[in-house]
Structure 1
Amino acid sequence: MIRTASLASLLALLPAAATAQEPSKTQMEAKSAEAERAAMAEDMRIGPVVGQPAPAVSVTGPDGLVGFTDLAGEKGTVVAFFRSADWCPYCKKQLIDLKDAAAPLAEEGWTLVGVSYDPPETLADFKAAKALPYGLYSDAGSAAIDAFGLRNPDVPAGSRYDGIPHPAIVFIAADGTVKALMREEGYKDRPAVDAIMELAAAL
């Protein structure tokens, strides 16, 4: 099941102002329970907070270090965080599928990029081999992955997989604000291109 969050959708979930001047005990208990659930959800949250500034981080591309706002189109940057273009077959399929999204996203004012913990050489080889029409950027050391709250903590420290992200697509506006986040429940599934385009058009 896809998880999509945007500023507009989150604002729509906010409760309307209470019409009663003094809430009843039942209303107070309900609000307390709601606040507790919200706090628990925040503790379990994966990824950046929609509506907040994106972390000011840099990733490595063909021309060296670059920030996501440096890559932005008129509306911003669509960042696909993926696990690996080296060993992850689901990531490789996603990267190939995203070929169909690059040009339409550009028409909507968004620049598409992919980010993983792979070294730049691995990403350059995969991009060339698959003729990807968008950039792949290295986050060796996973500093950006950590800053975006996407690191998968369930892999052994020091292992080959240490530092991989939970796969996610983050929409970052040209002003650096996180506009939306797309994730699937499992790492084998990724947001469909059609869903990505629908969200891009709505932002």
Structure 2
Amino acid sequence: MKKALVVVLFLLLAAAVLLLLFREPAKQAAYDALTKDMFVTADEDDFDPGPQLGSTFPGVNATWQGRPVRGLQEFAGLNGTMLVATRSADWCPYCMKQMIELQQHKAAYDEAGIGVVAITYDAPALQQAFIDKWDIQYPILHDVDALSFKTLGILNESYQPGDDAYGIPHPGAIVIDPGGRVVGKLFLEAYSVRVDALSALAYARGVLGLQD
């Protein structure tokens, strides 16, 4: 009996070690499978939250690198800005994959003169962990107390204060021209579906009136 107990304990210890060693690869594999078909090439549904087209961008109430941010001018490209509102860089696999893909195509946005800015409700420390892990080179803003998402009209009201997910937005993108005018939006009702980075860039170029 004693020998059997030792064997069981050894097997449990070995299982725990294997779980620690392979937890991250297993989680990433699960995320990859979950998000395999998440990208589409266009916004073709009727879901349309956010500021009205043609209106002046109302700004944000956020922080970046420990300081307050109210406007996006410092992040703007020569030809405009695309603000990507997303749920979480910590627990939402669709959001993480979207932000990683945006980084992969950041050079194309730079070439088009379009600044990319993301914003989530995550605590800055959680955002920084994601930034460091994936070498994200565009700014990710921290929305303060859901104020940015309320102002923009994209707060997900399915959650109430006190809920873990309170403060997340309906994920999507807002395109702003150099004069601060909202000229385009990409919002899909299903949070698990996003317009891919290059299709979003093509859309942004079109609404900003950029020549190919």
Alignment partner, residue 137 of structure 2: 133
Matched, 1:3 2:6: no
Alignment partner, residue 17 of structure 2: none
Q: Write out aligned runs for 1:39-118 (5 A).
A: 45-62=48-65, 64-66=67-69, 67-118=71-122
Q: For the Cα contact (< 8 Å) 2:61–2:144, is it kept in 1?
A: no
Q: Residue 170 of structure 1: SS of its match in structure 2?
A: strand
Give the structure-2-normalised TM-score. 0.72
Displacement of 1:105 in angstroms is: 0.9
Displacement of 1:135 in angstroms is: 1.2
Displacement of 1:86 in angstroms is: 1.1
Q: For the Cα contact (< 8 Å) 2:49–2:187, is it kept in 1?
A: no
Q: For the Cα contact (< 8 Å) 1:71–1:77, is it kept in 2?
A: yes
Q: CA RMSD in A?
A: 2.0
Give the distance between the partners of 1:120 and 1:157, measured in 2 at CA: 19
Match for 1:56: what amino acid? G
- What residue ranges of structure 2 are gaps of 5+ in the alignment? 1-39
Match for 1:109: what amino acid? G
Larger radius of gyration: 2
Alignment partner, residue 11 of structure 2: none
Sequence identity of aligned pairs in percent? 31
Give the distance between the partners of 2:99 and 2:201, measured in 1 at CA: 15
Q: Residue 107 of structure 2: SS of its match in structure 1?
A: helix
Q: For the Cα contact (< 8 Å) 1:55–1:148, is it kept in 2?
A: yes
Runs of 4+ in 1 over 6 A off after TM superposition: none
Displacement of 1:146 in angstroms is: 0.8
Q: Residue 51 of structure 1: SS of its match in structure 2?
A: coil
1:68 and 1:83, CA in 2 relative to 1: closer, same or farther beyond 3 A? same
- What residue ranges of structure 1 are gaps of 5+ in the alignment? 6-40
1:140 and 1:53, CA in 2 relative to 1: closer, same or farther beyond 3 A? same
Q: For the Cα contact (< 8 Å) 1:169–1:181, is it kept in 2?
A: yes
Q: For the Cα contact (< 8 Å) 2:80–2:176, is it kept in 1?
A: yes
Number of residues paired by the alignment?
166
